[in-house]
Amino acid sequence: MPDYESLWSGLGIDLKPHTELLEALLPLYQEVYLSQKNRPRGMEYFDFVVGEIHGLRVQELNDFRRQGGKVVGTFCIYVPEELVLAAGGVYVGLCAGVEVGTAQVEAVLPRNICPLIKSFMGFKLARLCPYFESCDLLVGETTCDGKKKTFEILADYAPVHVMEVPQKKEAPDQELWLAEIKKLVARLEELTGKKVTYESLRKAIWQLNAKRRALRRLAELRRADPPPISGLDALLIFQIAFYDDVERFTEKVNALCDELEERIHQGVGVVPPGTPRLLVTGTPMAIPNWKLPHLAETSGAVIVAEELCTGYRYFQNLTEEEGGSLEELLVNVARRHLAPHCACFTPNGGRLEDIERLIQEYRVDGVISYILSFCDPYAVEHYQVEKFLKAQGVPVLKAETDYSMQDAGQLKTRIEAFVEML
């Protein structure tokens, strides 16, 4: 990697622990990713992006900022990316998947809180994330209680705008959500000094839909038996989707899909045909959280679909592109961004329907219900998921875990036993 030290120190990064963090990440990547057999050639680009994880993209963001551009950090798929683009900004997803800055975090948050929240706060408080430090505004949301209250604390450290996400999807909730969308537009316009216009929003919707279509294409190619790409590689692409340049990323995913189509045509897969096929459902897996897919795919199974925010929930819905006015386009954006089925909503039967559809379309043999420790919405909703799957005769394994590797051995034994009986 080129020398980015002056870039990082300019952003106020604590260089010594930051170097240690990067030095720990690369061997992990080697072990989890580069040791996989028969990967598609098109993964080279995504390997390069990880090799440059705090380098090239951060440089691009800061070049953009030097020219007057604004960068907006987000934490949830309910926050519409197209609004940031339409206001002339660039967005980055800041959810994080590694234990960092624990001492600093535990000084302000309870110990027993979701590891995803601890991780993004750890990156901020320990000054270890150049993406965080490149943001001119952070957009939080009132999804789970942990995040909602953490954004109040985060506001002591950076400018934060919080969107009120309703907990139901009925007419008054839709109205509230449209008002929240408009408030975000006003805040973004104030930040960038640029108006969100009919043309700029239409263009942004097209760009984002092209990205979602490419990801859908990638996902659908995994219906093949054998699948042409591993669940681990697919997850990596979904994780990178949150911060890479939209057009470049879309082009690279489509190029990879061309290769995967050719592989399917030739009967080439990453596992032998008939390998047990898994669906993972539950809490998001933010980069570099690759623990569960690594354990599953080294236990004789292959993951073919993810009912996760780092998966299906992120790209399943397109924003309606037709609209005769800016107001109509904003309504389309609001409608699309209330569509995913996060466990923060009640009731959340749509999630069960999505799970059922994925099981059928991807010929799934078993489901892993993945829950980050202390995530109440998904931990409690597991009851509905398990009841629903049992009624359908689909085997389900509950995997409640965090970012440490302490339970990896035990989890692997449970996954192996689960895969054996599929």
By beta-carbon proximity to ligand BJ8, the closer residue of 117 and 129 is 117
Q: Of 92 and 344, which CB lies nearer to ligand BJ8 in the complex structure?
A: 344
> Residue 61 CB, nearest distance to ligand BJ8 (Å)?
21
**CB of 263 or CB of 337, closer to ligand BJ8:** 337
Identify which of residues 139 and 185 has a Cβ nearer to ligand BJ8 in the complex: 139
Binding residues for ligand BJ8, how many (CB under 6 A)?
20
31: DSSP letter: I
Choice between 114 and 185, CB closer to ligand BJ8? 114
374 CB neighbour count, 10 Å cutoff? 18
Task: Candidates 36-44, 71-79, 80-88, 217-225: pick the segment binding ligand BJ8 (CB under 6 A).
Answer: 71-79
In the bound state with ligand BJ8, the residue whose beta carbon lies nearer, of 298 and 373, is 373
- Is residue 283 close enough to count as binding ligand BJ8 by CB under 6 A? yes
In the complex, minimum distance from the CB of residue 149 to ligand BJ8, in angstroms, rounded to a whole number? 11
Listed in sequence order, the DSSP H helices in 298-375 are 312-315, 326-336, 349-361
Query: Measured between alpha carbons, how far is 177 from 172 in angstroms, rounded to an integer?
Result: 9
Rounded least distance, CB 111 to ligand BJ8, Å = 14
Q: Are strands 302-307 and 366-372 parallel, antiparallel or unpaired?
A: unpaired
Distance in Å, CB of 271 to ligand BJ8, minimum: 28
- Closest to 234 measured CA to CA, from 10, 46, 104: 46
Stretch of 66-74, 76-84, 130-138, 205-213 contacting ligand BJ8, by CB under 6 A: 76-84
Is residue 96 involved in binding ligand BJ8 (CB under 6 A)?
Answer: no
Q: Which two tokens stand for residue 199?
A: 């043309």
The half-sphere exposure of 7 on its side-chain side, counting CA atoms within 13 A, is 19
| Shortest distance (Å) from residue 333 CB to ligand BJ8 | 16
Strand order in the sheet with 302-307: 302-307, 277-282, 366-372, 396-401
127 vs 147 by CB, closer to ligand BJ8: 147
By CB under 6 A, residue 296 contacts ligand BJ8: no
- The residue (of 283 and 401) whose beta carbon lies closer to ligand BJ8 is 283
Q: Give bridge partners of residue 281 from the DSSP assignment.
A: 307, 369
Nearest distance, CB of residue 119 and ligand BJ8, angstroms: 10
Which residue reads 């930051």 in tokens?
18
Query: CA distances (Å), 370 to each of 6, 167, 349, 390, 399, in order?
Result: 39, 22, 18, 16, 5
Of 297 and 307, which has the nearer Cβ to ligand BJ8? 307
Contacts (Cβ under 8 Å, ≥6 apart) of 112: 373, 374
> How far apart are CB 251 and ligand BJ8 at their closest, in Å?
26
Residue 413 C-beta: closest distance to ligand BJ8, Å: 25
Least distance from C-beta 150 to ligand BJ8, angstroms? 8
Minimum Å distance from CB 112 to ligand BJ8?
A: 11
Phi, psi of 395 (to 5 degrees): -65, 140
Q: Specify whether the CB–CB gap between 224 and 186 falls below 8 A.
A: no
Note every long-range contact of 2-11, with CB atoms under 8 Å and residues 24 or more positions apart, other chains counting.
Answer: 2/55, 4/54, 4/55, 4/58, 4/59, 7/58, 7/59, 7/62, 7/130, 8/54, 8/58, 8/130, 10/62, 11/58, 11/62, 11/130, 11/133, 11/134
d(CA 151, CA 167): 18
Contacts (CB under 6 A) with ligand BJ8, residues 116-175: 116-117, 143-144, 146-147
x/- letters, 237..276, toward ligand BJ8 (CB under 6 A): ----------------------------------------
Is residue 77 involved in binding ligand BJ8 (CB under 6 A)? yes
One of 55, 284, 288, 293 touching ligand BJ8 (CB under 6 A): 284
Residues 341-380 contacting ligand BJ8, CB under 6 A: 342, 344, 372, 375, 377-378
Start-end of H helices in 109-224: 115-125, 130-133, 145-154, 171-192, 198-221
Q: What is the nearest approach in angstroms of ligand BJ8 to the Cβ of residue 377?
A: 5
Q: Rounded distance, CA 55 to CA 18, Å?
A: 12
Interacting residues toward ligand BJ8 by CB under 6 A: 76-78, 114, 116-117, 143-144, 146-147, 283-284, 309, 340, 342, 344, 372, 375, 377-378
